[in-house]
Amino acid sequence: MVALFAVWEGAVRFFGIREFLLPAPSAIWAATASVWPTVLQHTLATLGTVLGGFAASVLVSLPLAMLIASSPAVSAALYPLLVVTQSIPKVALAPILIIALGANEAPRIIVTFLVAFFPLVVGTVAGLLATPPELIELGRACRAGRVQELLRIRLPFAVPFVFSGLKVAAALSVVGAVVAEFVGADAGLGYLIQTSMAFFRTPLAYGAVVILALLGILLFQAVALAERVFFPWSSGAAQAPPAA
Partner 1 sequence: MIRLDAVGKTFRGRDGVPVEALRDVSLDVAAGEFVAIVGASGCGKSTLLRMVAGLVAASTGTVALDGEAVAGPRAETAMVFQAPTLLPWADVLRNVTFPLRLMRRAGAGTEEKARALLDVAGLAGFESKLPRELSGGMQQRVAICRALVQEPRVLLADEPFGALDALTREEMSLELLRLWAARRMAVLFVTHSIPEAVLLADRVVVMSPRPGRVADVVEVGLPRPRSFDQEASDEFHRCARRIRDRIFGERAARAA
Q: Does 57 bind partner 1 (CB under 8 A)?
A: no
Q: Which is nearer to partner 1, 112 or 164 (CB)?
A: 164
- Binding segment for partner 1 (CB under 8 A), chosen from 3-11, 76-84, 141-149, 189-197, is 141-149
For 133, other C-beta atoms within 10 Å of its C-beta total: 7
Angle at 158 between CA 176 and CA 54, to 5 degrees: 20
Residues in binding contact with partner 1, number by CB under 8 A: 25
Q: Which is nearer to partner 1, 71 or 148 (CB)?
A: 148
Q: Pick from 104, 137, 146, 217: which binds partner 1 (CB under 8 A)?
A: 137
Task: Please tell me whether residue 71 adopts helix, strand or coil conformation.
Answer: coil
Binding mask 158-197 for partner 1 (x = CB under 8 A): -x--------------------------------------
Q: How far is the CB of 237 from partner 1 (least distance, A)?
A: 6
Cβ atoms of 83 and 207 within 8 Å: the answer is no
- Binding segment for partner 1 (CB under 8 A), chosen from 31-39, 43-51, 150-158, 187-195, is 150-158
In sequence order, which ranges of the chain are alpha helices (DSSP H)? 2-15, 25-34, 36-70, 72-87, 90-101, 105-129, 133-141, 146-148, 155-183, 189-198, 202-230
Q: Does 5 bind partner 1 (CB under 8 A)?
A: no
Q: How far is the CB of 232 from partner 1 (least distance, A)?
A: 8
Exposed / middle / buried, residue 84 (Cβ in 10 Å: 0-12, 13-18, 19+)? exposed
Residue 187 CB contacts under 8 Å (≥ 6 apart), including other chains: 41, 42, 45, 181
Give the binding site for partner 1 (CB under 8 A). Answer: 132, 134-135, 137-144, 148, 152-153, 156-157, 159, 231, 233-234, 237, 240, 242-244
